[in-house]
Structures are given as structure tokens and as C-alpha cells.
Amino acid sequence: MEFDNIIFRMSNGGIGKVICSTVVIRAIKKKYPDKKIITVTGNPEIFFNNPNVDEWHHGNLIPKYFGRDMFRKSKSLILEAEPYINIDYIYREKHISQAWCESLGLEMDNVKPDLFFTNKEKRDAETLIKERTKGKPLMLMQINGGGIPMQGQPVFKQWVRSLPVDIAQQVADAFKDKYHIMMVKLPPQPTLKGVDDGLPIQVPVGCGVQQQIFNPRMVLSWIPHAEKILCIDSFLQHACGALNKKAVVLWGGTDAKVLGYDTNVNITNGKCKACHLPNCYLNEPNWDCEKGEICMDFDAEEIIKALGG
């Protein structure tokens, strides 16, 4: 059947998974160079300014007549595959991006994702960094992963990839005098003492009230300006892979072989053998482990040394 559009759909996953999917998009474009590529994901802003994507939509905010236009006015091919249940990924035989491409019958060129910023985004990032750092070199830290919980729900502790606060604080204390440390975090997640909590903007919510929000593209635009980056297995390390920016990445229950990048310094904690899996392939929301914080029980001095401290 001839078709006009390719709709790439991702039904679940966070910012990091969407960043990984840009490898799949690149492979789709290579196989179907003359087709219109449309993405439907939970974080469509990742595709903004991407030359391989013609149109992008949020999975929960699809325009009213999207289906009619895509399937009645024209013909569309839908591509969707869940890489978390790919057997080669689960058993750590292949990187998530390779497993994802092969599940869709696509040829992957390499695992490096894509992120593209406009000139305005670059200028805005430079201005914000200058205002926040006040002349100090910038250091970024992300110690927690996971999305924003629903109202009234607890903030889950993801033991398999969250760095314990006391260890993270020791690292921050070693660098905060020389560096301006900005945390990459969601509003409910803990802020370390003596560092910038990283929430960059205020938006009006009515009656003169301002609310802080998390802006992924703004946060990602900080990366090229950072001299040091410490992160866990979450979206920041995927973005560093996309931007060829070296980061020190700490791995507990997940695996750098199938989720990481060689451009980063990947440090694995071998202490916990109970949950050393590539990811929550059965979609457990808490990524829990009976061993608790031992999954990410790193030596603070080892982290400091890896960061060049």
C-alpha cells in the first residue's frame, strides 16, 4: 500500500526515552526520505527544530481532526514498538536504540540521539546562565529520576537510579565554592543545601499568582555551558550523549551497556545484585529494590575524583 505519512507513536515513557527515540526517527527518515514524519509522544518538544520531523504532537493533546486528516484525506503508516520488552534489550545484548530500530525493521546508524536548538534558545540559555552563575563556572547535577506525581500522590523513591541525598550533598560541598551548581530536578524532588534548585522560570496561573514550572528544552540548553555534569540514569545523560558533552553518570540497578553512551564517564555500582536489570521492562512505576539505597550507595570521594575534584 502506498502511504503519504509516517506516524511514529510512543505510548509511554519519559523525556529520556523520547530523546532515545530520535535515533529511531533518524532511521525512519533514512528509509522513507520522501514521506512526511509525524511524532506522537509524551514530550513532543524534544522534536522541536529536528529536521527529520515534519509535525509533532502530545499524545494527550492530539488535534480534534487529526485522525480524519491522517487516515481519510491521506494515507498513513503507523510505527510503534515498545523497546522495554525487546528480548535483546532485557538481557543486555543490544542498546535500547538498536533494539528499538530492529523491532521496527529499521537500520540504525549509531546510538547517538539528536537535539537541535534554535539560535534564540541558545541566546536565552547564555543570558540565563550569566545571570544565575555570576561569573562562576557552571556545574549541573541530576540525582533523581521520574515524573511529576499526580496531585495527592506520594513522590516515589526510585532506589535503582536515585543517588542518596547525603552522598549527593558531599559531592556538592566539594564543588559549591568554586562552581555554581544548578540542580536538574522536578519541583517535588529534594534540593541540596547551598546550590541553585534549577527551576528557571515563573509563569502566571491567574490573579497575579506565579508558579514555577519545569521546562525541558530550557534545562537541556544549559548543557553546552556546563564545565562539570553529574547525573544518574535519566534524561540528562541521554541529552549529554546527544550533545557530545561528557558527564559523569552513576549506574545502580540499570545498565550503561544498553542505556548509556561511551562519550560519558559511566560508573557502575556492583554492590547490589538483586535488581541489576536494564530497565523496568514490566513498567513497575517505582523501580523498587528490596536492597533499598544500596543500589546507588556510591563512595562520594570516588564521584568527586571522577569529576576532577
Angstrom distance (rounded) from CA 4 to CA 71 = 10
CATH number reported for the structural domain that contains residue 83 in this entry = 3.40.50
Q: Is residue 113 part of a domain?
A: no
Q: Which domain holds residue 31?
A: 5-103
Domain co-membership, 152 together with 96: no
| Residues 6 or more apart whose Cβ sits within 8 Å of residue 299 | none
Domain co-membership, 131 together with 89: no
Domain co-membership, 82 together with 129: no
Of the three residues 57, 75, 103, the one that is the final residue of a domain is 103
Question: What are 221-277's pLDDT values in tens digits?
Answer: 999 999 999 999 999 999 999 999 999 999 988 889 999 999 999 999 877 766 666
Length of the chain: 309
Q: Is residue 174 part of a domain?
A: yes
Question: How many domains does the chain fold into?
Answer: 2
Domain co-membership, 99 together with 139: no
Bridge partners (DSSP) of residue 229 are 140
Q: Is residue 62 part of a domain?
A: yes
CATH number reported for the structural domain that contains residue 166 in this entry = 3.40.50.2000
Q: Is residue 129 part of a domain?
A: yes
Domain co-membership, 195 together with 237: yes
Of the three residues 36, 70, 103, the one that is the final residue of a domain is 103
Domain co-membership, 150 together with 23: no
- Residue 147: its pLDDT value, please? 60
- Residue 209: its pLDDT value, please? 47
Nearest to 278, CA basis, from 112, 10, 87, 19: 87
Q: Which residue has the cell 523498587?
A: 288
Number of neighbouring beta carbons within 10 Å of residue 195:
20
Question: What are 226-241's pLDDT values in tens digits?
Answer: 999 999 999 999 999 9
Domain co-membership, 83 together with 226: no
Domain co-membership, 127 together with 260: yes
Angstrom distance (rounded) from CA 155 to CA 239 = 24
Q: Is residue 99 part of a domain?
A: yes
Low-confidence ranges of the chain (pLDDT < 70): 1, 65, 146-159, 199-214, 273-288, 292
Domain co-membership, 150 together with 75: no
- Residue 210: its pLDDT value, please? 47
Q: Is residue 157 part of a domain?
A: yes
Q: Is residue 109 part of a domain?
A: no
Residue 7 CB-density burial (10 A; 0-12 exposed, 13-18 middle, 19+ buried): buried
